[in-house]
């Protein structure tokens, strides 16, 4: 059973890294479940303080991921239409234009969303830029957290490798 939990944990922390880019998968939370799976084994001793702190970080990043693009858009004069456009652009970019769509899609979507409400292209561009900066900030926070969770998983698994795999 420990070996199964170990491999499920590996899968989850790797999905956590991928989830940093895909809007349908909460990266850090998925990665945290990988850490939890590792600690659920009999080989790795429970460390509730570690799991609690990493869970709090994962939840905070999950919530910030929704707030940061909003703040970026608002700071640069954007509207709710720009935020909706960012989300639609991200989804379409990921689905139809990988890998560059994940970067270009949100910007184009934010610009189109702003242009639908505000015909001033300079204001729309500025708001789209704010939305894009907010999106990138959130993505890098998620990616950084997911990579840290992956490294923590590998280090902890390495410490208990003989108990986990044999």
Tens digits of per-residue pLDDT, 91-104?
888 788 877 787 78
How many whole angstroms separate alpha carbon 65 and alpha carbon 78? 17
What is this structure's pTM?
Answer: 0.80
**Which range is least confidently modeled, 21-25, 55-59, 83-87, 149-153?**
21-25
Parent domain of 25: 2-165
DSSP 101-143: HHHHHHHHHHHHHHHHH---HHHHHHHHHHHHHHHHHHHHHHH
State the Cα–Cα distance between residues 48 and 65, nearest whole angstrom.
25
Answer yes or no: are the C-beta atoms of 101 and 94 closer than 8 Å.
Answer: yes
Q: Average pLDDT, stretch 16-45? A: 91
Number of domains in the chain: 1
What pLDDT score was predicted for residue 112?
Answer: 92
In this predicted structure, what is the pLDDT of residue 166?
63
85 pLDDT band (50/70/90 cuts)?
confident
29-43, 53-67, 111-125: least confident range = 111-125
Asked if 107 and 162 count as a contact pair (C-beta separation under 8 A), the reply is: no
Tens digit of each residue's pLDDT (9 = 90 or more) over 104-150: 888 898 899 889 987 788 888 888 888 778 888 888 999 999 999 99
Output the pLDDT for position 98: 76
The more confident residue out of 161 and 147 is 147
Mean pLDDT of the chain, nearest integer: 88
């Amino acid at each position: 059973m420990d070996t199964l939990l170990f491999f499920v944990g590996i899968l989850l922390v790797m999905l956590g890294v991928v989830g940093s880019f895909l809007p349908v998968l909460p990266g850090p939370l998925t990665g945290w479940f990988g850490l939890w799976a590792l600690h659920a084994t009999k080989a790795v001793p429970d460390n509730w303080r570690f799991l609690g702190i990493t869970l709090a970080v994962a939840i905070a990043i999950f919530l910030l991921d929704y707030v940061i693009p909003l703040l970026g858009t608002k700071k640069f004069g954007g509207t709710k239409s720009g935020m909706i456009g960012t989300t639609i652009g991200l989804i379409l970019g990921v689905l139809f234009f990988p890998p560059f769509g994940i970067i270009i899609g949100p910007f184009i979507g934010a610009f189109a969303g702003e242009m639908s409400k505000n015909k001033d292209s300079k204001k729309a561009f500025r708001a789209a830029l704010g939305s894009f900066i907010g999106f990138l900030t959130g993505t890098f926070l998620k990616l950084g957290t997911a990579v840290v969770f992956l490294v923590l998983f590998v280090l902890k698994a390495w410490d208990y490798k003989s108990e986990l795999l044999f």
